[in-house]
Amino acid sequence: MNNVSDKTQVFVAGHLGMAGSAVVRHLERDSLVDIITRGRDELDLANQAQVQKFFAETQVDQIYIAAAKVGGIHANNTYPAEFIFENMMIEANIIHAAFLNNIKKILFLGSSCIYPKLAPQPMAEEALLTGALEPTNEPYAIAKIAGIKLCESYNRQYGLSHGIDYRSVMPTNLFGPGDNYHPEDSHVIPALIQRFHEAKVNNATEVAVWGSGLPRREFLYVDDMAAACIHVMNLDSASHSKITSPMLSHLNVGYGDDLSIKELAELLARTIGFKGIITLDPSKPDGAPRKLLDSGKVRSTGWKPMVSIEKGLQLAYADFLNSESGINPQDAT
């Protein structure tokens, strides 16, 4: 591959998704970066031959793997085969083809669901593989664990000989611009935004929330996650090695506090302006009782979230309204 630019050539896999588009927004601020993207109609990341051909023909210096099949409890329960197969194929194809084409730097985005259902709270990186996973999203979690171990295994075997440096971050539950508002396949915040908004517009007196309302969740505004990803990617090797080890290399990226689903629903109702009653449906699955990350390692390197949950929900609702009206949302940071 011939150098076509003095700028760093950065491929963002999954640039149209919520996480990937946030990474692109932040990279666009760097005049020394050229961003490379491909839509699914141009590059099927689950197709090994297409991925290999792309990297053989394209100069790439860094890769952010934000491409994934994602969804909430309903989607994970309904399509387990698709969640494990597609996610494993995407990450395996990209990481192996990157190695074959001498690409030195990768940042893989995982998920906090990699941790055991009953892991001690807050969950430290060391909790990985210490217990059974939450059954409702086990296939997705296993695929993400495989992504971490792919990065680690290539580092262990080829790090010294080939100079590769593949890193992983595990974000907590994300929300913000570009979220998925599908009524069945969305995560809890976009699902509740849509539900409360429709209730407000239709003057409904009641909104039902899935589950008991007791599980606690941590949420991070997606642009804070993107800033963390770029921070970790560009962290010098000595600083990164100081807080990781060869077989425990992933870093948690969280907000640092959590709230119950009931508290989240009440906060969203106020944000959206719904004045009715919130009811709980305990016949629906709760998922894990609590998911709070210990993000002390990445915070020790200088990153911290900048957007409060309250402000983030306001920005998320504004993005929802823009998407409903067909207006392109502005960068929300």
Q: Which residues are catalytic?
A: 140
Q: Where are the alpha helices (DSSP H) in the chain?
A: 18-27, 48-57, 73-78, 80-100, 138-162, 188-201, 222-233, 237-243, 261-272, 296-299, 309-325
CB 237 within 8 A of CB 165: yes
Q: Of 65, 219, 216, whose CA–CA distance to 144 is shortest?
A: 65
Give backbone dihedrals phi and psi of 302, rounded to 5 degrees, phi first. Answer: 115, -5
Distance, C-alpha 287 to centroid of its chain: 18
Give backbone dihedrals phi and psi of 174, rounded to 5 degrees, phi first. Answer: -105, 155
Q: Of 150, 170, 143, 144, whose CA–CA distance to 250 is shortest?
A: 170
CB 91 within 8 A of CB 108: yes
Query: How many angstroms separate the CA atoms of 14 and 28, rounded?
Result: 16
Query: How many angstroms separate the CA atoms of 110 and 143, rounded?
Result: 9
CB 96: neighbour CB atoms within 10 A? 16
Interhelix angle 48-57/80-100, rounded to 10 degrees, is 30
Query: How many angstroms separate the CA atoms of 291 and 304, rounded?
Result: 19
